[in-house]
Amino acid sequence: MAEISNIADPKGSTEPKSAMPSVDKALRALLLLADAGPAGLPLNEIARQLGLNKSSLHVTLGALRFRDFVTQSPSTGFYRLGSAAGHLSQTYLNSLDIRATLRPAVVKLAERINEVCHIAVLDGQEILYIEKIESRRAIQPGTRVGMRLPALTTAMGRAMVAYECTTFADFQTRFGKSLTPRTPNAPTSLEQEWERILTARRRGFGVDLEENVEGLTAVAIAVLSNGRPVAAVSAVTLADDKADLEQHAKEIRLALESVVTAPLHLPVPDS
């Protein structure tokens, strides 16, 4: 069955038209929200950009919300992609094998900066280590593949949560009971942790200044798809080395640029 037909308008032009306008409307809304990223868009702006009636569009978005393809921020009312859209994307990305995609670059990164480097994914309220490349140093952090840590207070967690939660309300709903300070340097309130996460979003990378393990610092960059995090890569250093974490962030970004291709992309720091 043909999905698209060319229908001539009264002026003689042939504009491709969907055979199922209601489905096409929903798909166009999803594509627009994907481009908008985690911040989402208000109903008025979606209607304006798509050239659609707000009442009709509201019904369409309601149907997409029912199946979790779209969610609506409780604080702003903005619409953004929901968990079902993320599940479809994640299923596709799983077929790419994110570890296999990133590992060659991370191996070269660890060799170049001589620091332990990790790949992790965000799993609920935790990060899950899926790769570790050791350095040539005598002292190594006690991490391992398969290890889990609370996402909050870690560099990789912050790098990913910065693009997973767009408002404090969203952040509080998901992580409200998961903040467990592990060192004296760690924030003791959600508000303090949220400030670290906002800084990660602004800079395009997350840091951990002895907030997870005393004596260790880390910097991490998220790998995104349609503005949502699918993994993060970190470099861990001894605090006594006083490493330039911003330079390490540049090194991570440079390494990842060689392997990250669409639909994957890297965060763009705020100018």
Task: List, for residues 88-111, the tens digit of each pLDDT value.
Answer: 766 655 555 899 999 999 999 999
Q: Which amino acid is at 65?
A: R
Instruction: Check whether residue 78 and residue 134 sit in a common domain.
Output: no
Task: List, for residues 1-49, the tens digit of each pLDDT value.
Answer: 333 333 334 344 444 667 778 888 899 999 999 888 888 999 999 999 9
Instruction: Check whether residue 48 and residue 141 sit in a common domain.
Output: no
The DSSP secondary-structure symbol of 240 reads G
Instruction: Check whether residue 63 and residue 128 sit in a common domain.
Output: no
Domain count across the chain: 2
Pairwise CA distance, residues 129 & 118, whole Å: 7
- CATH code assigned at 76: 1.10.10.10
Over residues 65-87, mean pLDDT = 86
Task: List, for residues 185-237, the tens digit of each pLDDT value.
Answer: 999 999 999 999 999 999 999 999 999 999 999 999 999 998 899 999 999 99
Instruction: Check whether residue 47 and residue 135 sit in a common domain.
Output: no
**Interacting residues of 143 by C-beta distance below 8 A, sequence separation 6+:** 116, 118, 129, 132, 236
Instruction: Check whether residue 117 and residue 25 sit in a common domain.
Output: no
Pairwise CA distance, residues 193 & 201, whole Å: 13
The residue from 44, 61, 87 where one domain ends is 87
- CATH code assigned at 104: 3.30.450.40
Domain that holds residue 41: 19-87
Half-sphere exposure of 83 (CA within 13 A, CB side): 4
The DSSP secondary-structure symbol of 2 reads -
Q: How far is CA 62 from the centre of its chain?
A: 25
Q: Which amino acid is at 152?
A: L
The residue from 61, 87, 113 where one domain ends is 87
Per the domain annotation, does 163 fall within a domain?
yes
Pairwise CA distance, residues 248 & 235, whole Å: 7
Pairwise CA distance, residues 223 & 104, whole Å: 15
- CA angle (47, 52, 55) in 5-degree steps: 80
Instruction: Check whether residue 143 and residue 225 sit in a common domain.
Output: yes
